[in-house]
Amino acid sequence: MHLFCTSQGSLLKTLQEVRPTRILAVPRVWEKIYEKMQEVGRQSGAIKRAVATWAKGHGLQHNLDKMNG
């Protein structure tokens, strides 16, 4: 399936509707996603932050392992 967002501000709504498993996007989209994750993380409690940090590290290591064979 191919999906294009044409109106500004509709990306979040569209992603929530379609729930994609893979996304190909320009760097600015990834920056906005990262900024939102940082914002939510700052508002979360210590346990939630610790779990999120662990999950991101685990995901990074998994993908590095896949890339390096």
| C-alpha dihedral sign at 51, 53, 56, 32 | positive
In angstroms, rounded to a whole number, what is the distance separating the alpha carbons of residues 17 and 13?
6
Cβ contact 11:5 at 8 Å? yes
pLDDT category at 40 given cuts 50, 70, 90 is confident
Average pLDDT over residues 12-41: 87
pTM of the model: 0.58
Can you give the residue ranges of every domain in the chain? 11-67
- CA-to-CA distance for 29 and 10, rounded, in angstroms? 12
For residue 31, what pLDDT band results from cuts at 50, 70 and 90?
very high
Contact 49, 41 (CB under 8 A): yes
Mean residue pLDDT across the chain: 86
